[in-house]
A and B are shown apart, each in its own frame.
Chain A
Amino acid sequence: MLLRGTISYTLPTSTLRLRTTYTYPQNVAVSAQSTSSKFSISDQDLESRGFVLRRTVEDLNLDHLNSVFVAVGFPKRDPVKIRVALKNTDALLWVEYSKTQRPVAFARATGDGVFNAIIWDVVVDPSFQGIGLGKAVMERLVEELVGKGICNIALYSEPRVLGFYRPLGFVADPDGIRGMVYSRKQKYNK
């Protein structure tokens, strides 16, 4: 019980082309994007600086990933569970630092593959923050989801990183829709 279809949305950024008013297409047609400068930083740019974009879990060392999670403040999670989670993830993107061959940025999305996606675990190693890696990962992840025709892309975020997500096209609680989380501590009322 989540999203109302009548939401209209305006995208401020110039990197992605989108219509501003919402209609209900019978067939979801995905328009082709321009190829050259669709991202803030191009793949080549990143590579020239020693960062390689990866889109699969292949070669992703989960212990290294876990240490990035811990470095940004997540509690350490069971690597077995992380593996399961990644296996059941719709799309993921990470940046490998060539010199150390370790992941330095990561994001993934889960969903039903056609209508909805939620982005989780967006992290950039603190030593590599502020140089555009998070943005690079997010832009590409969103593009991949959009390319699949997924209309609703959401995520949960702390207020202090709102500024990071807004330029990517994210809007907070549009039309009064709120994200809710189940809390086991709460007793439910009648």
Chain B
Amino acid sequence: MPALSGVVSSSLCPIDSFGLGCGKSRQLIFPHNLHYSAAKASKRQKIFQVKAGFWESLKSGFTKNSTTQVIEPPSTLQEEEDSLPDEFVLVEKTEPDGAIEQIIFSSGGDVDVYDLQSLCDKVGWPRRPLSKLAAALQNSYMVATLHSVRKSAGSEGNDQKKLIGMARATSDHAFNATIWDVLVDPGYQGQGLGKALVEKLIRALLQRDIGNITLFADSQVIEFYRNLGFEPDPEGIKGNVKTQISLLYIVRE
């Protein structure tokens, strides 16, 4: 029985998620229309195709059980030309009892703040005030989420939807973006979902012509981000970012 927790993890790095110290907060479900992708945002799930190489890495995280299906891309598709939809199915699995689980990526930013707090609890982040969490999401330029939607075989229409991952980015909408708060439910880690989350977020940012994408990584996850195309302390990058050393200033009152 291919429960997802039984999936063998591949060589992909496990994801450690770290919280920001300021105390967690819960949030209200915040509306789609705060993001400019909202005009296109829809609840319909579209199946899209992604570059083959990427999917190879994702597939290797799954068991070879024949009931597991991964949405395959045609190899002719060019990633750069493909416009990223707001919401699409990343992975689809069929379980022996006929139930189907889909992992859905969305950049529409529809996050139930209580779900988010539960997710933060699961990964062990300190609690932050809900209102602050809501505000942070609202003030983020982009919020990407992963949801697991499980449809039981009886086709009764009872879908179980669960938030299993999130990443968000703040930005000035023109030059710079910074990625914060990347987290994946521990029960779904090791499958390349965190990688997918960040990769899609990056693509969405690049599509909006945000050239400088930054983040701060704890030493344990530096390799994870390096594999996604990030460089620590890059040298001599002129332009929007004066780089070499990153400084951190932490304040508590």
Contacts and interface: CB of A to CB of B under 8 A. Distances in A.
A158 B244 CA distance: 5
B245 A158 contact: yes
Contacts of A176: 218-219
A118 B20 contact: no
Interface in B4-36: 11, 15-23, 25
A30 interface: yes
A5 B216 contact: no
Given A84-B174, A115-B22, A158-B242, A179 B250 contact: no
A149 B249 contact: no
A157 B175 CA distance: 17
B47 interface: no
Contacts of B175: 77, 81, 85, 120
Instruction: Tell me the dominant secondary structure on chain A's binding face.
Output: loop
B63 interface: no
A142 B252 contact: no
Contacts of B212: 181-182
Interface in B217-231: 217-219, 221-222, 224-231
Given A114-B136, A154-B216, A179 B233 contact: yes
A173 B245 contact: yes
Contacts of B244: 156-159
B136 A24 contact: no
B39 interface: no
A178 B21 CA distance: 17
A19 interface: yes
Contact of A170 (B11, B139, B247): B247
Interface string A111-143: 111111010100000000000000000000010
Contact of A157 (B11, B178, B245): B245
Interface string A15-32: 010110011111111110
A40 interface: no
B230 to A, nearest CB: 4
A189 B56 CA distance: 11
A77 B241 CA distance: 12
B132 interface: yes
B158 interface: no
B57 interface: yes
Contacts of A90: 139
Interface string B35-53: 0000000000000000001
A42 B60 CA distance: 61
B125 interface: yes
Contact of B248 (A149, A152, A158, A162): A152
A186 interface: yes
B180 interface: yes
A110 B170 contact: yes
A26 B253 contact: no
Given A156-B246, A180-B222, A181-B231, A28 B253 contact: yes
Contacts of A152: 20-22, 248-251
B129 interface: yes
B3 to A, nearest CB: 25
A190 interface: yes
A95 to B, nearest CB: 19
Given A115-B132, A116-B180, A173 B248 contact: yes
B96 to A, nearest CB: 29
Given A26-B129, A188-B227, 4 more contacts: A9-B251, A19-B253, A153-B249, A169-B249
6 contacts: A2-B179, A19-B252, A22-B250, A26-B127, A110-B171, A181-B214
Interface of A: 1-7, 9, 16, 18-19, 22-31, 73-75, 77, 81-82, 84-90, 108, 110-116, 118, 120, 142, 146, 149-159, 161-162, 165, 168-184, 186-190
Closest 6 A-B residue pairs measured CB to CB? A179-B246, A5-B21, A2-B216, A176-B219, A85-B174, A182-B213
Interface of B: 11, 15-23, 25, 53, 56-57, 60, 125-129, 132, 135-137, 139-141, 168, 170-176, 178-183, 199, 202, 206, 212-219, 221-222, 224-234, 237-253
